[in-house]
Chains A and B, each alone.
Chain A
Amino acid sequence: MTAYRDLLTKWGAYGVSALVLMLLHALTLHTLAPFGVMTFLPPVLVGVVASLEEARPATIFGLALGVACDLTVAAPFPCLYTLAFTASALLASLLAKSVLQPGVLRSVIVTALTFAVTDLGNILVLAMRGAQLGPMLLLALKETVFSCLLLVVCHPLLTALHRKFTL
């Protein structure tokens, strides 16, 4: 019973932190667009959680955040984030646990992987509508690089929560 309550508290804390970070991002950094590119927070959250948690809960977190994004953020097709976040959380958490050592580098690599999967979805759909590949790849690269800077805040916060509720 206690373990179940701890589990709920931990994921509740992750959820609240994600909401607060997204609200703060919308209030502050959303207006900044270095080189014409806006930073995008949800894949960063999925990446960090996937690098910290076991594959199953991380994938469920990715699925939940994907559904929330699909319902509130415009995308080239209706279920892009649900599919991309679930698949990338599953892939990233498995990769993180079996290949990479815990730490900031693992979060960076896993976040980049999450962006790669998400942007692949965007690129495939837009390419089918006739968009050129070069500008899309450049945008994906810039979005990944600038959004990874958000790890400066997200990684320590979520790692602290993970330590507090897991160890």
Chain B
Amino acid sequence: MRDFMEKHGLRLLAAAAAVAVLLSVLNYFSTTSSFLENVAGVLTYPFRAAATAVEEWVGDRQRHYRDYSALLEENEALRAEIAVLRANARQAERDREENAKLREILGLREQKRDLVLESAMILEHSSSNWTSTLTLNRGTNHDVAVGNCVLSPEGYLVGVVSEVGLNWCTVLTIIDTDAELGALIYRTGDVAVAEGDFSLMGEKRLKLSYLPAGVSLLAGDYAVTSGLGGFYPSDLVIGTVERVEADEDGLARYAVLAPMVDFDTLTEVFIVKGFDIVE
């Protein structure tokens, strides 16, 4: 063993260290993705697409045989919810007209919310237990950039683009330990930080930290992006408050947020390539 270590072992470890340094340096100096990662992403694209297609087909077959009575119950509940939402929409329409008139009287800029969206299919769901990522079939070819937000078809926040290749990009979901976003509690207007937490990632949950003193949260309160700093659009729904807990030291509190998105069944998303919002 000692002979081997003297002859080859140290040389091999040095080679591994050199490769590791090369990968780290390439990663550090790239604004999208390193050259090697880009090539690997392009080459593995067809295999990832094929694997996901099979995965989705199996999922579809499973959903096809789901309990029929559960679907009937869900249908009934959704009909009741639609009735409430229609009433709210009528009221909102009246409020919108009134708001527009008042803004005109006060000489304020017209409210607008323009998002430049790019639709994308999911090539691959996370293949590691230690991170929560998605790989999409859009890249620099489609003007996707690092930092772009990704939304579900319903408009809920899924994550943020962390790496971009020629025809692929990697999205860090909002439950990943590296995710951190400025958040606003919709009902109270308080500002906090939504961040991924390793203990909660397994439950598909995230943390709402730095809660202001005295804030009173209710289960079901919406947390949305604050839009402060202009990095991300405002008012994108991150999730709803599930419970409030104390930190390990017991001095601060945090809320556990349940995302609105089921990351495992997601197949299609929208990348926000640009936005122009006037509140």
* Pick from A38, A79, A90, A135: contact of B20, CB under 8 Å: A79
B103 to chain A, nearest CB (A): 44
Please indicate the chain A residues that have their CB under 8 angstroms from the CB of B24 in the complex.
77-79
With both beta carbons as reference points, the residue of chain B lying nearest to A85 in the complex is identified as B16
* Contact (Cβ within 8 A) A83 B1: no
Chain B binder among A8-16, A25-33, A45-53, A100-108 = A25-33
A131/B177 contact (C-beta < 8 A), A63-B15, A87-B16, A126-B198 known? yes
Encoded as 1 (CB less than 8 Å from any B CB) or 0, chain A from 57 to 98 comes to 001100100111011111111110011001100100010001
* Contact (Cβ within 8 A) B202 A83: no
Instruction: Tell me whether chain A's interface is mostly helix, strand or loop, or mixed.
Output: helix
How many residues of B sit at the interface, in one of the four size bands? 35 or more
* Pick from B16, B41, B130: contact of A72, CB under 8 Å: B41
CA–CA, A74 and B19, complex, Å:
17
* Pick from B47, B55, B59, B131: contact of A74, CB under 8 Å: B131
* Pick from B20, B130, B133, B202: contact of A82, CB under 8 Å: B20
List 15 A-B residue pairs with CB atoms under 8 Å apart, sorted by A's residue number: A23-B51, A26-B47, A30-B55, A63-B19, A67-B19, A71-B36, A71-B39, A71-B41, A74-B133, A74-B170, A75-B130, A77-B24, A90-B12, A129-B177, A131-B197
Encoded as 1 (CB less than 8 Å from any A CB) or 0, chain B from 26 to 54 comes to 11100000001101110010011011001
CA–CA, A126 and B201, complex, Å:
13
Please indicate the chain A residues that have their CB under 8 angstroms from the CB of B15 in the complex.
63, 86
CA–CA, A71 and B19, complex, Å:
12
Q: Add 16 more A-B contacts to A27-B51, A76-B131, A135-B198 (CB < 8 A).
A: A38-B126, A40-B127, A40-B128, A55-B8, A55-B9, A66-B16, A67-B19, A72-B41, A72-B44, A73-B128, A74-B133, A74-B170, A82-B20, A83-B16, A131-B199, A139-B129
Instruction: Tell me whether chain B's interface is mostly helix, strand or loop, or mixed.
Output: helix
Closest 3 pairs (CB-CB, A-B): A79-B20, A86-B16, A131-B198
* Contact (Cβ within 8 A) B27 A31: no
Please indicate the chain B residues that have their CB under 8 angstroms from the CB of A87 in the complex.
13, 16
**Interfacial residues of chain B within 132-170, with CB under 8 A of chain A in the complex:** 133, 170
Please indicate the chain B residues that have their CB under 8 angstroms from the CB of A77 in the complex.
24
B64 to chain A, nearest CB (A): 16
Please indicate the chain A residues that have their CB under 8 angstroms from the CB of B44 in the complex.
72
Encoded as 1 (CB less than 8 Å from any B CB) or 0, chain A from 134 to 151 comes to 011001000100000000
